[in-house]
Amino acid sequence: MADFFGEVVHPNSRAFWTEDDDESEEAGDTTVSFTIDWTETCPEKMKTLIIAETPLIKDFIEQSVIQDHKSICSITSQNSKESSRIHRLPNDVFLCLIDSHINLTIAGDFIEAISPILSKSENTIAITCNHVSQLKCGEKAPELSFIRSLSTRGVTEKQRNFFPVLSQPNIVAGVAAGVISHAEVMNLPGTLAVLYLDGFELDSQSAQPLIKLFKELLSYDLKDFNVPSSLFLEKGNLYM
C-alpha cells in the first residue's frame, strides 16, 4: 500500500465495547445482509462511481446535483426501511447516496455487499465530511471549508494533486473510507475526499469546495446548480 494512504487501526482496548456487544458475539453471527434491486439493467462498466455519505453531503447532492436523475438501484438492509440509492448521471457517471442508518458497525457488511458494483467502476470517488476540530495535524483551517484527500496507487497524478493530501495521523472511518480501502486492496483507482467545515452549516460560500469537486467529476457546466441557502452538519459528540 502506498505510503500516503491511511492505515486501518484496530482498537487496542475493550474500553469502547459495551455489554450489548458481548451479548451479540455470544449470540452468533451478527452479519447484516443487504438486498440490491436494479430498476434497469446493471451496467457492465462505470466510468466514474461517486459514493457519498453523511446527511449534509447527501442533502447538498439531492438539492444541487441529482436534479431530475432518477434512482436506478436501491440497496436496503434487513434492519432499515430506508435504502441507499444509485443514480445515473450524464457522461457515464453513477452516484450512490448512502443510507444514514449505515453506521460504522455495519459499514464492512455494506462494502462486501456492494463489492461487485465497486469492481465495475473505472474510477471511484468517495465523499464524506467532518468538522475541522477533527483535523489532528495542527494545521490551521485555511478557509471556512476545504477538502483533504487520500488516493490509491491506481489514480493519475492529476487526480492525486487535485486536493491537498490528508496528513497523518488523521483517521477517516465509515463507508467512504471502506470503499477506498477496498479499491486499494483490489488495485483499483480511487480517491477519498473529506470536506472539513469550520462551522456546522453549508451555504453558498462553504459549498465551494464541493462545487469545484463536482464540476471536475461531472465535466459539465454548473450554471444550473441550485446551491441551498443552508444545510447543517450533524454535531454528533462535538460540544462547542
Q: What is the tally of structural domains in the chain?
A: 1
Question: Residue 18 domain-assigned?
Answer: no
Phi, psi of 97 (to 5 degrees): -95, 120
Domain of 187, CATH number, reads: 3.40.50.10900
DSSP string, 173-229: -SHHHHHHHHHHHTT--EEEEEEEESSSEE-TTTTHHHHHHHHHHH-S--TT----S
pLDDT at position 220 is 66
Question: Residue 13 domain-assigned?
Answer: no
Domain that holds residue 52: 33-232
Model pTM score: 0.81
| Buried/exposed 179-215: b ≥16 CB within 10 Å, e otherwise | bbbbbbeeebbbbbbbbbbeeebbeeebbbbbbebbe
Question: What residues contact 68, with CB distance under 8 A and at least 6 apart?
Answer: none
pLDDT at position 81 is 80
What are the Cα distances from residue 222, in Å, to 151, 156, 240? Answer: 25, 24, 34
Question: Residue 159 domain-assigned?
Answer: yes
pLDDT at position 3 is 46
Q: Which helix (H) or strand (E) holds 36?
A: strand 34-38
180 within 8 A of 111, measured Cβ to Cβ: no
Please report where in the chains the cell 484527500 appears, as a residue: 149
Ranges under pLDDT 70 in the chain:
1-29, 138-141, 220-240
Could you give the CA distance from residue 4 to residue 125 in angstroms, rounded to a whole number?
17
Q: Parallel, antiparallel, or unpaired: how do β-strands 124-131 and 48-52 relate?
A: parallel
